[in-house]
Amino acid sequence: MSGKIRVGLIYGGKSGEHDVSLQTAMAVMKAVDFTKYEVVPFYISKKGEWKSGAPLLAPVASKEELTFSSGDSANAPVSNALAPIFGAVHAKGDVAISSAAAAGTKEANIDVVFPLLHGTFGEDGTIQGLLEMANIPYVGAGVLASAVGMDKVMMKKIFAQEGLPQCIFRHFTRTEWEKNRAYHLIELETAIGYPCFVKPANLGSSVGISKARNQEELLQAVSFAFQYDRKVIIEENIDAREIEVAVLGNDEPQASVVGEIVSSNEFYDYKAKYVDGKSAMVIPAEIPAETAEQVRQLAVQAFLAVDGSGLSRVDFFLGKADQKIYINEINTMPGFTPYSMYPLLWQESGKPYTELLDDLIRLAVERHTAKQSIQYSFDVE
């Protein structure tokens, strides 16, 4: 690549984490090194409308610029918003999706895409699949790791296969719950008991999560979780500290120092994360060195188990009484403001925010370049 690298930032989206994505995008746009990069913003509204802004040569100054809420007429219409990424629609009635560079167009070529999307329709493999089909480098996990990282049930099944320690859990779909509610209640109360945590299987930022202390609260919690997904997971309650590790890399990932979340609420829910501002991050976590090293090794093992790439944050529970480690989940597109746990963990590990951005873009290009040697078809003679 000659000159500045042109980075397409995709943010917003239809998920319940739309506003979290905006925070991330604003942080990246303010911190990116504009001597190295030219940024092309792609905003997705809560309705799923795509809008592209003019290439940025300096940071944005307001949320209005970020969401294109003013002067919409100056922005590309929805139908053309993807053109700088995917090139033109070819004639003959068929659509050829390709990068603008490969198509040889004069439009704003994108060298690499940074999908700053959290939750469904962004962190679940959907946007990654679109970029794979377009053969465009992008930051973060691929289709498989993104989908597994979003679906807590599939994630936990893979962790179990890998032998990673985790808490007791059960799961069911809406149909299974409606057909045999009595059975599931007995199973939950026998295997897990109270209190327990009820979560939508596919959502992040602790949206839709409830703590149930009795059957009445369990029924309410399941109903609440089904508002956000067709599949629900129930986990046992563990009296534990919440610790987290940042992982960076592709085939040979590295783990950061270990951090701890001290929640302002009974558990680390959406309000505790983003609203009241009272939760504390302790970096590095005040735990024995051998425990920290074990957690770091488990984080890398989890990253490789889901075929991760680029970045992930791996969350654990550390039992207060027995110091036993339980893996909770892997987040393939963690919060990425300068004040989020992921970059703070790397900052404490000696890697500042701007350097972290450089590494992620480099890793995306390296992975994409390596994949170009793969043959996806063959001729039969």
321: domain CATH number is 3.30.470.20
The confidence score (pLDDT) of residue 92 equals 32
Q: 65 and 39, same structural domain?
A: yes
Residue 143 within a domain: no
Between CA 206 and CA 134 the distance in angstroms is 32
| Together in a domain, 254 and 341 | yes
The model's pTM is 0.86
Structure confidence at residue 276 (pLDDT): 46
Q: Based on the fold, state whether residues 24 and 52 are members of the same structural domain.
A: yes
How many angstroms separate the Cα of 117 from the Cα of each of 139, 140, 191, 200, 314?
A: 11, 11, 36, 18, 18
Residues 264 and 328 reside in one and the same domain: yes
Please tell me whether residues 269 and 230 are part of one structural domain.
Answer: no
Whether residue 157 is contained in a domain is answered as no
Dihedral over alpha carbons 227, 232, 236, 238 (to 10 degrees): -60
Of the residues 116, 138, 160, the one at which a domain ends: 138
**Pair 9, 114 in one domain:** yes
- Are 38 and 119 part of one and the same domain? yes
How far lies 291's CA from each of 167, 186, 343, in Å?
18, 36, 22
pLDDT score of 63: 66
Domain count of the fold of the chain:
3
pLDDT at residue 337 in the model = 87
Residue 152 maps to a domain: no
Last residue of a domain, one of 213, 236, 259: 236
Residue 332 dihedral angles phi and psi, to the nearest 5°: -80, -10
Q: Is the dihedral of CA 8, 9, 12, 18 positive or negative?
A: positive
**What is the domain range of residue 362?**
240-370
Q: Are residues 46 and 129 in the same domain?
A: yes
Residue pair 270/261 in contact by the 8 Å Cβ criterion: no
If asked whether residues 112 and 15 sit together in one domain, one would say yes
Which among 215, 236, 257 is the end of a domain?
Answer: 236
Residue 158 within a domain: no
Query: Is there a contact between 53 and 82 (Cβ–Cβ < 8 Å)?
Result: no
Q: Indicate whether 173 and 132 sit together in one domain.
A: no
Q: Is residue 338 part of a domain?
A: yes
Q: Rounded CA gap, 338 and 30, in Å? A: 10
161, part of any domain: no
Instruction: Note whether 100 and 208 are same-domain residues.
Output: no
**Tens-of-pLDDT digits for all 381 residues of the chain?**
458 999 999 999 988 788 888 989 999 998 899 999 999 999 998 888 888 878 887 777 676 677 765 444 345 555 566 667 765 433 333 333 333 333 333 445 899 999 999 888 888 999 999 999 999 999 999 999 999 999 999 999 999 999 999 999 999 999 999 999 999 999 999 999 999 999 999 876 567 899 999 999 999 999 999 998 999 999 999 999 999 999 999 999 999 999 999 976 565 454 544 444 557 899 999 999 999 999 999 999 999 999 999 999 999 999 999 999 999 999 999 988 888 999 999 999 999 999 999 999 999 999 999 999 888 877 776
Whether residue 74 is contained in a domain is answered as yes
Question: In this structure, what CATH number is given to the domain that contains residue 181?
Answer: 3.30.1490.20
Kindly state whether residue 379 falls inside one of the protein's structural domains.
no
| Whether residues 27 and 121 fall in one domain | yes
Q: Domain with 20 in it: what CATH number?
A: 3.40.50.20
In tens, the pLDDT along 49-85 reads 888 878 887 777 676 677 765 444 345 555 566 667 7
Nearest to 204, CA basis, from 19, 66, 10: 19
